[in-house]
Amino acid sequence: MSALKNLTTSLLHFASSTLTRKGARKFIDASYDVESVQRSILSDTLNMVVGAESAVKHGLRKGMTVEEFRKQVPITDYNYWHDMIVEQQKSGKPMLTTSSCDRYQPTSGSTSKIKWIPYTRPFLDQADEAISPWMSDLYANFPGIKKGRHYWSLSWVPSDLRDQVSESINDDMQ
């Protein structure tokens, strides 16, 4: 049984190392033309928000330039978006994006109240793209991590909020 566990661990690390290497390569390639990549991200984001209430409120449209976007959207903090997220988007009204929100993750800090962060599939994909170069670097610089089993938990839900979130929030496989 131990040999099977070791083989499974090795195979999973091989797959993870291979996939994160691809993500790291994509990140490095993108670093040669950051402006183009950022403009593409803006375009993708506009495509997801046009049609939502926040896009109407700020006069957003597909094909806007970065410069036009800067003029239309003020620099804000979470309080500016709170009602749109907590009172409207969570109830199903497309306030921030036309993409469906898979879940809302509560966060908290030492300087402010709890913030509810909407998680859409595109947002989770972007998080994966950000994690890949980091994990690839860990595999390259600390090859010993391929020998062990790991449990990573990067999200934390305060105990008093656990009954306010969907069941998937506490499912580590999510």
Q: What share of the chain is helix, strand, coil (3-state, %, to 5)?
A: 65, 10, 30
In the chain, the number of structural domains is 1
Phi, psi at 38, each rounded to 5°: -65, -40
Dihedral sign for Cα atoms in the order 122, 124, 125, 127 = positive
* Integer Cα distance of 103 and 121 in angstroms: 10
Return the pLDDT at 103: 81
Domain enclosing residue 137, as ranges:
2-170
DSSP assignment of 106-154:
EE--SSS--EEEEEEHHHHHHHHHHHHHHHHHHHHH-GGGGGS------
Return the pLDDT at 6: 79
* Integer Cα distance of 110 and 112 in angstroms: 6
What is the mean pLDDT of each successive set of 10 residues along the chain, which is 174 residues long? 79 89 94 95 94 93 94 92 85 85 75 80 89 93 85 61 55 46
Return the pLDDT at 173: 46
Is the overall model pTM greater than 0.95, yes or no? Answer: no
